[in-house]
Structure 1
Amino acid sequence: MSAPKKVVLAYSGGLDTSIILKWLQSEYGCEVVTFTADLGQGEELEPARKKAELLGIRPENIYIEDVREEFVRDFVFPMFRANALYEGLYLLGTSIARPLISKRLVEIAAETGADAVAHGATGKGNDQVRFELSAYALNPEIKVIAPWREWDLTSRTRLIEYAEENQVPVPKDKRGEAPFSVDANLLHTSSEGKVLEDPAQEAPDYVYQRTVDPEKAPDTPEYIEIGFEKGDAVSLNGEALSPATMLTRLNEIGGKHGVGRLDLVEGRYVGMKSRGIYETPGGTVLLAAHRGIESITLDRGAAHLKDEMMPRYAELIYNGYWFSPEREMLQALIDKSQEHVSGTVRVKLYKGSAAVVGRWSEASLYSEQHVTFEEDAGAYDQKDAAGFIKINALRLRLIAMRDRRLKG
């Protein structure tokens, strides 16, 4: 790959990406543009601007953007229409943020005339795959630089030495080994590494940042009502909310009740297994509520087909294929299923659980007249079941007759 002339860097303002910024300047002698996304990670982003300026980036080359609404509206909500869970448990909080970051990196590269983008993902993880597959899908000619796969800064000590040699400020709290690494956005927090690397050991309580210990959560349950339109949550307790505001509120309520903790050993796309602690309070509430409204508005055949497709859909997102044709095909199927998924769900939050306790909709397929144990006024003739059962039993009876005949 020829040396890039201008690079757009996914920049957090932290030590690692600041070192990457300086390394790009010295290694390639190129101009650097920084992009910092507000995905709801809960950190002030203006320090990232000041750090970039300190490292020689011109003000016009510093992009800091609030993309929370786009993140939830165009990425999180479409994924939740599918009830997506990776390996049956993980709500894909990190995975779903990467395509949006890559999209903006590529767009900013086009706006600024940059010929490359760069990220701070390591060569051991999934994020390198997600960033780069998305970038190439959106611009097949773009160059992607992954410093962790190129440089020789393979230890914390060496990184800090490089920072000091190149006048990159090193905060006092970064000089020792971090107890674990954290990735956060509006959907979740993800904690990995160091004290969490032994999957046999329970995670220390200080790892959790967004949820209270369920044992210490309020002793009184809280009931909330979530309104849906075409599969998306649009109101909370009767108040219309934007996508990002909805998820923010659900995070606050769910976190207060200890909802959404997950200790998971997962299979990374690159082949190894890793252990992570995930907190997804709002997402956990949203998943329960969405399944609740689907239970009365979605036909059995459609619902079961969706559930069959979901693991494949979730795996595509986890592995970085958000911009692939197969994910878009599955999304079209999922979105078609959501045409009548509208109504209201009541959820009970208590001591770490989010339980659906009520659901109603004008588009409901639930018929009390058909399922009642009382007189149904002729809505359902129970005698019809006999023929239904005999027809469906025919092949089973034929198999049994054959087996009996062969045994002689």
Structure 2
Amino acid sequence: MASAVKDNAGKDVQDEAVQDTTAPAQQAPAKEARPGYGQLLRTPGAWAFLLPGFLARQPFAMLTFSILLLVQHTTGSYGTAGVVSAVTGVSMALFAPQSGKLADRFGQRAVLVPGVLVHAVAVAAMITLALSHAPLWALLVIAVPTGASTPQIGPMVRSRWAAKLTGTPLMPTSTAFESVTDEFTFVVGSVLATALCTGIHPAAGLVAEGVLTLGGGLLFAAQRRSQPPVHRAADSSAKRVSALSVPGLRVLIAGLFGIGTVFGGMQVSLTAFAEDIGQPGINGLLYGVFAAGNMLAGIVCGAISWKVGPRRRLLVGYALLTLLTTPLWAVSVAPLMGAVGLLVGLCIAPALITGYTLVDSLVPAAARTEAFTWLTGAVGLGQAAASTVAGLLADHFGPHAGFLVPLCGTGLALVVLAVFRGHLVPRAETLVVGRGVGHRSPATVD
């Protein structure tokens, strides 16, 4: 395994195991020592699981938003829509780690195939009940299996990268790439859901979500060659591993819950804001600008060779998020809302990427798939809770009141991260963390 060494100029370079033997280490260009996205995507067999994986991971961005728009249309209440969306999100968050554990034990295919079939049936039932104006309790009942059966494609893709690349300089590159993909998913999924629900039919977004989940999930499950090794119950060492036993992961869960409140609060509040100014169709554009900021920041963040430690980056990121979500409730015109939303979005990706990167140094390898699902579930749970609270605030106090939810969520997450930042230090000094795209360095305290 290649290791990072220092040259005479103080720059990180890879040792001769990965260098061109015709050039001295001191003269190797830094960009040749840091594999980027292009080299990552040339990994044999990568595209076979990346393309279907991209289709199948759209539910995380589309599901709760599509339910929110459909139920709000059929009931006329943001509060009711937020509750149904929240139950779906909570169910998704609570069952995500269990899905990760089952995938580790029985294989991803064994979990995905029945899961996507159940999800397709549950989504069809949700559409039928909503359009037939079923009572709230019926919508809440079907929301549970709809969320619980959502395939955890993102963590599964990360697990496949880990199975291929652990111990290589490309591993941190894959971490950054997956974070960028998550942000791009939010751009595509949220805009697509809004466009379908407002431009075609209120149920069109949920129909598309179900089709993409079923088709993409089955195609992804068919890629057996890249599936990670299965950890059987007989493996006693695997049984003892628990991701939640790592204090740092619990701190990161609280932090990413705060990011989830930004997603959920912005979805509901931007919808209510667009309705209030008489331009409901602009909701998709506003949320797309917000999500595009996430994606652009993710691309840039992944390409930077950071000199600041991950803990400090995390705290600075959340401080900026708290600051920039403060004026949202006072904005009354669409262009200014788009500008502020863009700035908020620009701060999200660095925090997400840093959180996922810290998992590599905090959590044992045997528990990382579960750890990734906990973080993904935390975002979903925060999104669900924010949708409920923001919807109720919008119903009772006006459309701008919902924007207080992202502010409070990120503020509380910042406090937790600041107070418990000591838990984010790797237990062993020999661990390394990703620093930029394809760049590895000794884990730093700050």
- Alignment TM-score, normalising by the size of structure 2: 0.26
Higher helix share: 2
Which one has the largest radius of gyration? 1
- Alignment TM-score, normalising by the size of structure 1: 0.27
Higher strand share: 1
- Tell me which of the two structures has the higher relative contact order, counting C-alpha pairs closer than 8 angstroms and 6 or more residues apart: 2
